Every structure is written in C-alpha cells, then in structure tokens.
Structure 1
Amino acid sequence: MGSNGDEAGGAEGAYDPRRQFAEECRSARELHPDGPLNQTQLARMVRTSKSTISRVETCVGPIPPDLPARLDQVFSTDGLFKRLYEEITAQSFPVHSRRRIELEPKAVSISAWSPTVVPGLLQTAPYARALLREGDPRASDEEVATLVRAQMARQEVLKGTSPPDFSVVICESVLRRNVGGPDVMREQLSALLTHGSQRTTVLQVMPLSAETHGLMDGSMSILTTPDDLPVIYTEGVRSGTIIDDPSTVRLLSRSYDVLTASALSRDASARMIRQLMEAS
C-alpha cells in the first residue's frame, strides 16, 4: 500500500515518515475494499473533520495523536499508521535522543531519574514551552510550538489500555525551581499529583536532605521492551547515550534501586508536591 521509502522522501531519496504517512492514508482511502472513500467519508469513519484529513494528506500541520490508531482500525493495517506516527514524533527530537523516543512506545517498563527538570513524559505544555523557549531564544514561535506538540505526543505512551509500568524519581529541587512562573509551576505540580495517582505509576521525590548517591551526575532512564534486555539512556545538556552493555546496565540499575529506597514514599512524595503547589 502506498509508495516505497525512496519515493516518499522526495528527489534525494531520503525517507520521510511524515510524507509516507500522508501517502499511505491517501492510498488506503482510494483502495478501500468496499470502494474508494472521499475525504469526507473517511473523516466520518475516524471521527474527525474533512479539513483534518486534507491536512494530513498534504503534510500540513500536526497529526492528531488519536488519529493513527483510528486509521489502523478502519483500514486493518496492523499498526502501520501508529508506527509511522512514532517515527514522525521521534524525528522532532534531537538526534541524540531519538533512539530513546523510538524505544518508549515499545517499552513494558520505564524507570526514570531526573535531577534537573520534570521528565518529558510528565511535562505540561506550558512547562515544556518555557523550557524550550529558554533553551533556544532564537527559535520562532512556530518552531517552539512544533516541539511542544512533539513532547505532548510522546506522552501517549502513558495513556491507553496497556501503559508501561512507570517508575520515576524527581529531585526536590525540580519541584522548587520556578519554571515559567507561579501559574505554570502550580499546573505542573498538579499534573504530577495526577500522574502519581495512576496505578501503573510510582512517583517519588528525592529530598534535598538525602545523602550522596550513585546517580548524581545526571538524568537516566531504564527502558525494557518485551523482546530485549533493559537498556539505559543517559542525557546531558546537548548529548545523550544509549547504554546496552549488560554489566553497566546491571550496575546502573542497582544504583536506581538504591535511589528509590532513599527517596520519599509515594504518599510522602505526594504530600510534599501538594504542599509546594498550595504554597506557590
């Protein structure tokens, strides 16, 4: 269905998942087994508007996060549109973090430690916008908006009927740092309380009073997929590394276990977040 990768990428032959998504949508619509569908008919079937289908097929604007799954259902494409959407989302991020973004939707378990900012999977749009705006003052409003949309789309992995087991430890300093102003922080702290109340999420706070631990150098994520051993992603200001050496993964995973044992409990963490939110 649709064209091959070389055709999808334009004259230079570079693969473009966004263009591939558009062509697959148009091709599936025109080759529908019960007869060709026009954009209005398809829009009705996937519960969206004709203008949205038109924009998707002409590569204009973002793809609604819930649309890929609906297209896969209507066209019985076995996750094709979902996979392409994940590739599109990954391409919105810096090269050094794309491998992690590609792994997240496949993960059955994600563990994260963040000593500097709220992890991307838990950020609100205003919080993400404030970080991105400060990180690149020369970026246009549209460029920042595109990155924020990608960050929000990334969070789809925690939604749905079968989200991964998610464990996250956040340094207390992150909660106290005023990113974007009091209103933005109040909304972000409220969002953390909501996330922490999910059955598949364990959210803990590492208090400033905690002693030295083995992960003080930077942020880290542990991702486990159904068919692979765990891998670890570490990230700096402008760099990131995937670690899959078993001995190193085992060492860093143990450091994370020690970290969770040193952090506040789920209930105590929620109490601290609520107190900070009410005081802001």
Structure 2
Amino acid sequence: MTNRMGMVGVVDLEQASEEPRKRFAEELKSARELHPDKPTQTAVARWARTSKSTISRVESGTGPIPPDLPTALDQIFNTDGLFKGLYEEITAHSFPAIYQRRMTLERNAIAIGEWAQTVVPGLLQTHDYAQAILRKGDPRASEDEIAKAVRLRLARQEVLRSMAPPDVRVVLCESVLRRHLAPRAAMRAQLAALLAHSARPTTSIRVLPLDAEAHLLLDRSASFLTAPNHVTVVCVEAYRTAGIIDDPEHVRAAERAYDDLTGEALSVRRSADLITEQMENLT
C-alpha cells in the first residue's frame, strides 16, 4: 500500500529466509555426485583454488561462500550460471525484506543513479571503508556480525563486474570526500577506488560543491534504479528503515531534483581532480 508520500514498504530490519543457502549446498553435493569423476571435496577445492575445509563448510551450510567460488563451480561443473544465480539469491535473501526487493532491483537494473549526501554509496565502498562505517553504525555488533555485513555489502558490487554492467551515475556531496569516517589509509584507499570506478566507461562520478543551492534531496541520500522496461524507482534510507518510492509522480519529482543536482555538480574531470587532491591530502 502506498502512502501519501509515495513510499512503499517502509519496515524495520528483520531476518530473511536461508532457503537459497540450503539449495546451494545441495546443488554442490549433487554436482559432485553426478560428475563423471565423482570428485572428492579435496579435488573440488583444488580445482576451485580454495581449501577442502571451505568446500566442506559450504556443503554443510555452516560457512560463508567466498565471492569467487560460485563462478569457479559453474566452470568446474559446467552448470551454466547455476551457482552464480544461487549466490545472488543468497546475497539478496541475507538482507531484510525491503532490502531484498532493493537488491533484486539493483541486480537487474540497466541504469543506477546515486545521490550520496553523507557516505560513499555501498555499491562503491571498499572493504575497510565499509567495515569502519558498519562498526560505527553498530558498535555492539560482534566481529563476526560486522564481517558478514561487509561481505554482503561487497557482494553487491558483482553487478558492476558483470558482462553487461548497468550505466552508473553518482553524485557525491563534497562533504563525503572530506569527512574522515575511516582511518586515513582506509579513506585514501576509498578515494583511490572512486577514481578507479570513474575510469570505467559505464560509470561517472561527480562532486556537488558544498556551496551548492538547496534542493529537494537535501535531507537524504537516494538511489535511482531503472529496470529493463525503463521503469525507475527511488530507494531511500533512514535510521534502520528503508523505503522504495514507485509512485510515478514522486519518482518524477525526485528525478528532476537529481537532474538539478547533476547540473550543479562539477564536471567528471574536475570531480576526479578534487578526489585526487583530497586523496593526496591524506598522505
């Protein structure tokens, strides 16, 4: 049901199903049994360039799945993307319900627009930067909980490495570059990662100066996800809640605001210069 602000399904965080994780384990066991050589876990581990204990934990459903393992298993067993697809489902189902929908939309998007007001968007975060952000956001979380959250966040970036990555446009508030939310070395590495992302032909990163005019999206960050049918939704987040705006009128208003931001932002080249300058200040 859509409220008068056009926001659908604003919910608190909740646990998600682990069914895809069980299926992954079962399919791996089955693939070994049906393979002509009937390889042992040790053999599969050797072919996949991982450890036997990793394969054992994955098959028992008790350990994390390394991000590069699904693709390796598809190559080993010639399963035409089966394990990669299951891994994407696992990643999506590891998020609360509203985030599951967002992850599905993001994974299938042909275009992604990001307005980041306070932190680097999760889609572009490095491991150490994400770890610092998540730790600050939940200081009582265990190391295992933080590590899992980091893995889930980084897994989202698989969409950028796909054969047909989406077009990505990012507008960062200048404060994102100047706010030291992680140790200096981690901040420098994160800024270097932004430059690497901006070098991709399908990605542009622009910086909105601190003295830019006020705008509709002043009080929150937002993601614009465009599906293959060219329908766009807007994803917004607040403290421990998230929402997906799909009412056409409100989407159009948000898109106009985003276009205004883009018009106010520095050029891609000048933005890269500013990121480089800030990175050098951290040496």
Range class of TM-score, shorter chain: 0.7 to 0.9
Report how far residue 192 of structure 1 moved: 1.0
1:29 corresponds, among 14, 28, 32, to 32
8 A contact 1:39–1:54 mirrored in 2: yes
Cα distance in 1 for partners of 2:172, 2:94 equals: 25
Gaps of 5+ in 2: 1-16
**Greater relative CO, 1 or 2 (CA 8 Å, sep 6+):** 2
Deviations 1:114-154 (A, max 9, x none): 10111001111111111111111111111111111111111
Residue in structure 2 matched with residue 223 of structure 1 by the alignment: 225
Alignment of 1:40-55 (within 5 A): 40-55=42-57
Calculate the aligned-residue CA RMSD, in Å: 1.9
- Answer whether contact 1:92 1:147 (CA < 8 A) is retained: no
Instruction: Judge conservation of contact 1:112–1:221 (CA < 8 Å) in 2.
Output: yes
Indicate the SS of the match to 1:231: strand
- Which stretch shifts more, 41-50 or 258-267? 41-50
2:258 aligned partner: 256
Calculate the TM-score normalised by the size of structure 2: 0.87
Post-superposition Cα deviations, 1:143-199, rounded to whole Å, max 9, x if no partner, equal: 111111111111111114321111111101111111122222111111111111111
Residue 39 (structure 1) shift? 2.0
Which residue in 2 is equivalent to 1:208? Answer: 210
Measured in 2, the distance between the counterparts of 1:147 and 1:15 equals 15
Distance 1:201 1:147 in 2: 25
Residue type of the partner of 1:17?
P
Distance 1:184 1:42 in 2: 35
Structure 1 residue 35: Cα displacement? 5.1
Q: Structure 1 residues 184-193 or 224-233, which shifts more?
A: 224-233
In 2, Cα distance between the equivalents of 1:48 and 1:181? 31
Contact 2:33 2:39 in 1 (8 A): yes
> Are the counterparts in 2 of residues 108 and 224 from structure 1 also a CA contact under 8 Å?
yes
Equivalent residue letter for 1:86: E
| Equivalent residue number for residue 105 of structure 2 | 103
Partner of 2:123: 121
Q: Which amino acid aligns with 1:169?
A: V
Identity percentage over the alignment? 56
Moved more, 23-32 or 40-49: 40-49
Give yes or no for contact 2:226–2:233 (8 Å, CA) kept in 1. yes
Amino acid in the other structure paired with 2:135:
R
Secondary structure (helix, strand or coil) at the match of 1:161 reads coil
| Aligned-residue offset at 1:77 | 3.5
Name the SS of the counterpart of 2:243 in structure 1.
strand
1:19: which partner in 2? Answer: 22
- For each residue in 1:74-116, what CA deviation from the matched residue of structure 2 results, as whole angstroms up to 9, or x when unmatched? 4343433222211221233344322111222211111111101
Q: TM-score, normalised by structure 1?
A: 0.88
Report how many aligned residue pairs link the two structures. Answer: 266
Which letter maps to 1:24? E
Q: Distance in 2 between matches of 1:170 and 1:79?
A: 34
Kindly provide the amino acid, as one letter, of the partner of residue 20 in structure 1. Answer: R
Contact 2:18 2:90 in 1 (8 A): no
Q: Which residue of structure 1 lines up, in the alignment, with residue 176 of structure 2?
A: 174
Q: Deviations over 1:11-33 (max 9, x none)?
A: xxx6522121111111122123x
Moved over 6 A (4+): none
